[in-house]
Amino acid sequence: MNLDVYRVAIPLAEPYHLSKVYGTRTHADTVIVRMTTAGGAQGWGEGDPGGFDFTGDTGEMIMASINTDLLAEIIGTRVDDWVESGQGLQRSGSWGAALDIAAYDALGKLHRQPVWALLGDKRRDEVDSLWPTSSGTADADLQVIQAKLAEGFRTFMLKMGSRSIDEDVERLSKVAAALSPEVGLMVDANQGWQLDEALEFADRIRDVPLVLIEQPLAAADHGGLAKLHEACQLPLSVDEGLQSLDDASTIAAKGIADIFSIKVSKNGGLRAGLEIAKTAKTHGISILMNSMLELGITQSASLHLGCVLDSLVDCGHAYMSTLRMSDDISNFSDFVSRGTAQLPSGMGLGIEVSENKIRTYLKDECHA
Ligand SMILES: [Mg+2]
C-alpha cells in the first residue's frame, strides 16, 4: 500500500463565531489521506482536527507526528484486514479517522460496494440537513434562517455560550417567536456555561420546544450534566464530551445524556462512529450526525454512516459543511440539494476528489 498525506486549508465562505471557548474560525484545517492498494484501488480519507481546545490537535500537530515508523506500520496493512479487524478502533481522533475512512473507501472500490454496505443495512437514501448560525443576535439569526428556509432547510442550530444567559434567552425567545412551530431549533453552547447558568437557561426557555441542547457544560463535568439532566425536560446532547467509545460507554452507563453527537472525524472514523451508535442504541440514546468544519470526504463518510443508523434524532443533521466553505476538494456539495443530502450511488464513498484542488490549498505533504 502507498500513502499520500496532504494538509489542506480552505477558507470558510464566512467566518464562524463559536462560544467564548473557541472564538472565531476562518479556515477548515484538514489532513487528506490517499491510500493506494497493491492492486491499484485508491481510497480517500480526511481528518478534521478541531483545534487545541476542541479535540486537542491541529493539522500542523498531525503532520508533525507522522514519522516513517508510523507510516511503515500502516503501509504494511491490507485494507480488507483493516476493516475486518476493526483497525480503526486502535487509533483515535482525526488522524485515525482519515486512515479509517480511506481504508473503507478503498475496500468499497475493491469489492465494488458502496461504503454503507460495509457498515450495515441501509435505512434511508437521504438525510435532511440542519443549518448552524454563528453566536450572534436574534436579528442576525433570523436573517440567516429566513434565507435558508427558502433554500429548503428546516432545522437550525444556534451557537450560544459566548454571551450572558439574559442575552441568550432573549435571543432564542425572539427567534422561536418569529418562526413556524414546524421549524426545528437546537442550541449548542459548546461548553460555554456553568451549571447554574445552564439550569437558569433551561428553566427560562422551557416553553420553547427545542430539539436539543448540546454540550451546555464543560466536557468532563459529568456531575453537573447529571444535575442538569434531572432538572431539564429538554433532550441533552454530548459533543465535546463524546470523543471516544470509552466516553460513550461511561456517559451511557451514567444515564446523563439523551443524544450522542457523532462526528466521524472527532470520533476516530467510521468503525468508531458505528460502535458508538451501537452503544447508544442499547441505552436508548439517539444520534445526531454532526460535523466539524469539514470537507466532502468526511461529509460523505458521515452520510454513509447516517444512512445505516436506525436511531437518528428526527431533525436535520450536519450535512451542510461543504456549503459553508469557499471551495472543496470533492464534489460532495453536488449531493446536497434543497436542504437534503442524497447518498452518492458510486462505489466506495461515491464522490470524486480533485488533486488539482488539493494542490491549490496545499500547506504541507508527505508520502510513503
Ligand atoms: Mg457541538
pLDDT class of 23 with cuts at 50, 70, 90: confident
Using alpha carbons, select from 5, 89, 92, 97 the residue that is nearest to residue 48: 97
Shared domain check, 327 and 180 = yes
Give the model's pLDDT for residue 52.
80
Tell me the whole-structure pTM to 2 decimals.
Answer: 0.97
Residue 39 CA, ligand 1 centroid: distance in Å = 40
Residue 214 CA, ligand 1 centroid: distance in Å = 6
Q: Could you tell me if residue 77 is inside a domain? A: yes
Residue 216 CA, ligand 1 centroid: distance in Å = 9
Shared domain check, 287 and 142 = yes
Residue 49 CA, ligand 1 centroid: distance in Å = 14
Shared domain check, 185 and 56 = no
Shared domain check, 210 and 168 = yes
Shared domain check, 74 and 198 = no
236, pLDDT greater than 80: yes
Residue 37 CA, ligand 1 centroid: distance in Å = 35
> Domain containing 225 — which CATH number?
3.20.20.120
Shared domain check, 189 and 85 = no
Using alpha carbons, select from 267, 321, 357, 356 the residue that is nearest to residue 25: 321
Q: Could you tell me if residue 348 is inside a domain? A: no
19, pLDDT greater than 70: no
Residue 23 CA, ligand 1 centroid: distance in Å = 14
Partners of 238 in the β-ladder: 260
18, pLDDT greater than 80: no
Using alpha carbons, select from 155, 213, 148 the residue that is nearest to residue 184: 155
Report DSSP letters for 56-90, one per residue. Answer: SB-HHHHHHH--HHHHHHHHTS-HHHHHHTTGGGG
Residue 99 CA, ligand 1 centroid: distance in Å = 23
pLDDT per residue as tens digits for the range 35-68:
999 999 999 999 999 888 788 889 999 999 998 8
307, pLDDT greater than 90: yes
pLDDT per residue as tens digits for the range 143-164:
999 999 999 999 999 999 889 9
> Domain containing 31 — which CATH number?
3.30.390.10
Residue 102 CA, ligand 1 centroid: distance in Å = 25
The domain tally of the chain equals 2
pLDDT class of 290 with cuts at 50, 70, 90: very high
Domain of 70 in residue numbering reads as: 2-115+353-367
